[in-house]
Chain A
């Protein structure tokens, strides 16, 4: 399979899009940063009663919190990106990359049919897959396939 076919035929659900994490949109930015550091993730899905309300990324933090000197006690919903562009689990990777390219995003929330947050698909993850795919070509291995990762949520 060439890279083009791989991007067309592989869906979000077929790759490991885990290592995603959620935070309540009313939690403080300080709390959110603590979770990101604890879970070693570059973004959090901001939810309210389990439904996606926004996404909080490294870029939001630097541009809306650290840069302007906003208090870390501010609630997440004040600094998150609201109404984020999302991906569906059945969507092919090319479509996800296309949206990342046009919007300049590194992360897209993956949501289910009723709007529930399932996880996050990231550009680094897809870059890993492409690098692996070409390593596979060089040593004549098949393209990798991955199970779905687990969603981390606050206890």
Chain B
């Protein structure tokens, strides 16, 4: 694939093409331990907090490590909404891959919630972008 093609692919392909599963929610009053258990069980790096109609934040591996870290045992039964990232940056499902990649790189995000009409429809991670590079260059990345 040439640079022009790759650039066009990144600029034209929508973020929704990376979505592989419905977003996983935990209720706002779920404990930190319940959120961690959900992430472990489903092998995912983040969960959304709230409901599809009213999503108030995202709780990720980063929030766990940097926001809680060694104090985990002391706060494991506290509500996860005390430690989540509130009002996270969310991108429309029709946003181009190029814009999304820039958002993730400039904002330092590992996980980015994706919405359609204001409702979360999934979360994309940098690993999902790696899948796109693999799709373009299967002879190189495979």
Hey, which chain A residues are within 8 Å of B137, CB to CB? 4, 7, 94
Give chain A's interface secondary structure class.
helix
Q: Are B62 and A42 in contact (CB-based, < 8 A)?
A: yes
Count of chain B residues with Cβ under 8 Å from any Cβ of A?
A: 39
Among B7, B66, B108, B142, the residue within 8 A (CB) of A101 is B142
B129 CB within 8 Å of chain A:
yes
Q: Are B64 and A62 in contact (CB-based, < 8 A)?
A: yes
Hey, which chain A residues are within 8 Å of B72, CB to CB? 66, 72
Residue from A4, A34, A63, A123 with most neighbouring chain B CB atoms (10 Å): A4
B98 CB within 8 Å of chain A:
yes
Among B36, B66, B70, B101, the residue within 8 A (CB) of A72 is B70
Q: Are A98 and B45 in contact (CB-based, < 8 A)?
A: no
Q: Are A135 and B102 in contact (CB-based, < 8 A)?
A: yes
Hey, which chain B residues are within 8 Å of A58, CB to CB? 45, 61-62, 64-65
CA distance A42 to B63 in the complex (A): 11
Hey, which chain B residues are within 8 Å of A40, CB to CB? 66
Among A36, A66, A127, the residue within 8 A (CB) of B36 is A66
Count of chain A residues with Cβ under 8 Å from any Cβ of B?
A: 40
Residue from A58, A62, A97 with most neighbouring chain B CB atoms (10 Å): A62
Hey, which chain B residues are within 8 Å of A104, CB to CB? 127
A2 CB within 8 Å of chain B:
yes
B87 CB within 8 Å of chain A:
no
Hey, which chain A residues are within 8 Å of B73, CB to CB? 72
In the assembled complex, 12 residue pairs joining A and B whose CB atoms fall closer than 8 Å, in A order, are A2-B1, A7-B140, A42-B61, A42-B65, A62-B64, A66-B36, A67-B40, A124-B108, A128-B105, A131-B105, A132-B105, A137-B3
Residues of A within 8 A of B (CB): 1-4, 7-8, 30, 33-34, 36-37, 40, 42, 58-59, 61-63, 66-68, 72, 94, 97-98, 100-102, 104, 106, 123-124, 127-128, 130-132, 134-135, 137
